[in-house]
Amino acid sequence: MQQRGTFQLMKSVNRSIILNKIRTSEPISRAQIAKETSLTPPTVSTIVKELIEQRLVRESTLGHSSGGRKPTMLHINHSSFYVIGIDAGPETIKGVLSDLSGEILQRTVSPINKPITNERFLSILKENIYTILKSTEISHDQIIGIGIAMHGVVDIETGTSLVAPILNLRNIPIKDVLEEEFNITIKVENDARAMALGESWFGGHGEAESMVAVNIGRGVGAGVVMNGKLYHGAQGIAGEFGHMTIDMNGTICDCGNRGCLQTFVSGAAIAERAGKQINQSKVALTGKEVFEYAQKGNPLYMDVLHETGKVIGIGLTNLIHLLNPQKIVLGGGVMKSEEFIMPAILETIQQRVLTTEARKTEVIVTHLGEDATLLGAVSLLLVELFNPIKEIG
């Protein structure tokens, strides 16, 4: 298994700048890199030579010339290194093996049976990682690290899950335990924030300066990307969108507070509301069944989803007034009901947002589907590899 130190060697500032320039502009020539990064041609040539030797970059002769020999063009060698991404909780632990372009090569999934202990949770994590490692012929030293997108509140410095409310767990030392087990770089992040980073990396959003990704499923969370970087807040809880209070006298949330947005729009909340309003037989519904009944044209279930869209729209209006992002991307299981929920979301935002300009905030559903959070976990390692550590200076 690769030593953690090897990964650190890849991280000089100029190297990250050049790698990122190749990633975002490939195919690109050495001369063009020098021109667009203000690095000197000899510096570019030296670093590119190292990157080719490390197999991170490959050459081709696709360039155009005005009579002389064709310039050699550079590309990221996407199949040179790999990342394991894990979407951890609250219902399942899912894992993938991905190359540097986000192409998924292996998958694994395990249910989480509650109640669960920290030790059992870590054990399931390890089992999934071992399953991926054993099922691939890729050399372990080609895997640059493991990204964990974790439900709940995470301390990213120590890689600890501080609070996983739906699992009723606290202080899980994910990074320490997995680094000791696998001797590889481990990055741990809140799942909604990981999803936001994955969206900015793989979602095809171009150079959006500010974006919020909102994950609406068993829980509700958000990740804020500003200038290509995740925003964590002073104490690391930025993005706890689901715990925005919508009704101070409302039902009690998993977090202990009353009337959180999550108590209105999570899958379980939708099912419960549908049950109270519609289902006279008292048979427990699921959010998925509510969607299926709506698809069959049942107006009562369609109304429940429409009402859910209005509440999400109120939450997103608050988000627009607070952060004014260029784009909001919605994901998670609840957004599978997009056809019933999205019109109400957009209509509510149009009615409530303060200015004509702010109504132009683009609100869309993720194109990455159920893989959005998994690819977010992968991107936790890619951002380390490709993004500049600081400005050129």
In the β-sheet with 160-164, what is the strand arrangement from edge to edge? Answer: 153-155, 160-164, 169-172
What pLDDT does residue 342 have? 97
* Omega before residue 173 within 30° of 0, cis: no
Note whether 184 and 222 are same-domain residues: no
In a domain, 311, yes or no: yes
% of the chain at pLDDT higher than 90: 66
Tally of domains in the chain: 3
Q: Does 144 lie in the same domain as 98?
A: yes
Please answer whether residues 349 and 363 qualify as being in contact, where contact means their C-beta atoms are separated by less than 8 angstroms.
yes
- Is residue 298 in a domain? yes
What's the predicted TM-score (pTM) here? 0.83
At 138, which CATH number?
Answer: 3.30.420.40
Weakest mean pLDDT among 9-13, 41-45, 127-131: 9-13
- The enclosing domain of 55 has a CATH number of 1.10.10.10
What digits encode the pLDDT tens for the residues 259-318? 999 999 999 999 998 988 876 656 678 888 999 999 999 999 999 999 999 999 999 999
Interior angle at CA 388, CA 35 and CA 105, nearest 5: 105
Name, in order, each residue with C-beta under 8 angstroms of 337's C-beta and a sequence gap of 6 or more.
Answer: 287, 290, 291, 294, 305, 308
